[in-house]
A and B are shown apart, each in its own frame.
Chain A
């Protein structure tokens, strides 16, 4: 597999998180891993994709279906199929039925067992009516849920109910209470993966890149030895490690946004056509149970 652009490989071993910039790992002349480096084997892997914005047709990317398909092709080209795919929201741009149809149709070709979703604010502009009709079965409240896979507890949250001025995410008391009850029977050693659309850490609140009441959720997660928080929304890769928690935001499959504070506001960013696919991508997560290894690798779309 050829790699290009930026990204980070996360490895957790014995509770210690280490990160490696992709530039440290990639041989720029060949596009492959540097000689002597090997990606550790894993018990299972899953992929995160985000912010497909099906229906978007502005200059920043007039072909969002095409770039989603490029992400799907990347997934299908992996040497072993991921156990499942997480889509961290903004499936659509305008929450229209035909946009949801197109997304579902496209994702049918992904070689994986299942796709899990959480909504983005663009999917919830009708208060989530269409989204919940399609993806809300078996979920609680306005679309949150949890499941277990290979000993890892996954929690999908909805923080896009638009209750907060300024665009910040919001979980709300009902969801927080549910989260508390959901976590209650778990031992501290259970690895946790939380996924939600808007970052659960304050990346740049001036642009709404944070969640107003996330501190309450993170307090509930603090006792666990390994917590990975996967988000979308900001259309770029940013990571932070705080204690046992690893925060990671994924690239969009549709269009990039400016780095925090580098422009007057957030929003679709037009880049030269040849650069676009280097700024879009997907995230692969490998988990190895006995080594307590969780490796998160971002892959740009460009070959």
Chain B
């Protein structure tokens, strides 16, 4: 029951989050950013991916990003892996929960002001371990 309650809370927050995050505009070296700012710098983006997501979930890039069609490296813009869609929802949820429940006024992924981060629930696991 507790697990179900948590999931409902997270799902609700995700839906709220997708409505509250502003669309970004402007030129970008990245072609398929939906949650992160299109004006994000390479260092900011890599910091979020490396320190927040990779370390927070104990995964590497290939967990969400599909292999490149030519077999060399990853196609970072591709949405082929469902994990990437889930990750976007989780990012929205994280931002929303920080704003709504922890009163972080301008939550930004990677910012030290966040109260909740990926690691808060994931604790280094791809799938968070929840109490039964």
Q: Which residues of A contact B46 (CB under 8 A)?
A: 94-96, 125
Q: Does A238 make an interface contact (CB < 8 A)? A: no
Q: Which residues of B contact A208 (CB under 8 A)?
A: 58, 60
B58:A167 contact, CB within 8 angstroms: yes
Q: Does B62 make an interface contact (CB < 8 A)? A: yes
Shortest CB distance A277–B (Å): 22
Q: Which residues of B contact A58 (CB under 8 A)?
A: 51
Chain B contact residue count (CB 8 A cutoff): 26
Residue of B nearest to A92 (CB): B46
Q: Which residues of A contact B107 (CB under 8 A)?
A: none
Shortest CB distance A74–B (Å): 28
Interface residues of B in 74-92 (CB under 8 A from A): 74, 76
Interface residues of A in 90-147 (CB under 8 A from B): 93-96, 121-122, 124-128, 142
Q: Does A177 make an interface contact (CB < 8 A)? A: no
Q: Does A166 make an interface contact (CB < 8 A)? A: yes
Known: A93-B50, A94-B46, A265-B125. A162 touches B73 (CB 8 A): yes
A163:B58 contact, CB within 8 angstroms: no
Q: Does A263 make an interface contact (CB < 8 A)? A: yes
- Label chain A's interface by main secondary structure: loop
A124 to B58, CA, bound (A): 17
Shortest CB distance A193–B (Å): 26
A162:B65 contact, CB within 8 angstroms: yes
- Which one, A94, A122, A162, A207, contacts B62 given CB within 8 A? A162
A94:B67 contact, CB within 8 angstroms: no
Interface residues of B in 5-24 (CB under 8 A from A): none
Known: A142-B73, A264-B125, A267-B124. A122 touches B50 (CB 8 A): yes
- Which one, B51, B67, B124, contacts A266 given CB within 8 A? B124
Q: Does A161 make an interface contact (CB < 8 A)? A: yes
Q: Does B63 make an interface contact (CB < 8 A)? A: yes
A124 to B62, CA, bound (A): 12
Produce 1/0 per residue, B41-62, CB < 8 A to A.
0110011011100010011111
Residue of A nearest to B46 (CB): A94
- Which one, B43, B61, B74, B123, contacts A96 given CB within 8 A? B43
Q: Does A268 make an interface contact (CB < 8 A)? A: yes
Shortest CB distance A123–B (Å): 11
Q: Does B72 make an interface contact (CB < 8 A)? A: yes
- Which one, B58, B61, B65, contacts A121 given CB within 8 A? B61
- Which one, B55, B68, B124, contacts A127 given CB within 8 A? B68
Residue of A nearest to B129 (CB): A264
B74:A94 contact, CB within 8 angstroms: no
Residue of A nearest to B124 (CB): A265
Residue of B nearest to A96 (CB): B43
A266 to B125, CA, bound (A): 10
A95 to B74, CA, bound (A): 15
Known: A127-B72, A264-B125, A266-B124. A162 touches B61 (CB 8 A): yes
Q: Which residues of A contact B50 (CB under 8 A)?
A: 93-94, 122, 125
B43:A94 contact, CB within 8 angstroms: yes
Residue of B nearest to A160 (CB): B60
Q: Does A165 make an interface contact (CB < 8 A)? A: yes
A127:B74 contact, CB within 8 angstroms: yes
Residues of A within 8 A of B (CB): 55, 58, 93-96, 121-122, 124-128, 142, 161-167, 172, 207-208, 263-268
Known: A166-B59, A265-B123. 11 other contacts (CB 8 A): A58-B51, A93-B50, A125-B46, A142-B72, A162-B61, A162-B62, A163-B62, A166-B63, A166-B126, A265-B124, A266-B124
> Can you list 6 residue pairs at the A/B interface with Cβ under 8 Å?
A94-B42, A96-B42, A125-B50, A162-B61, A162-B65, A167-B63
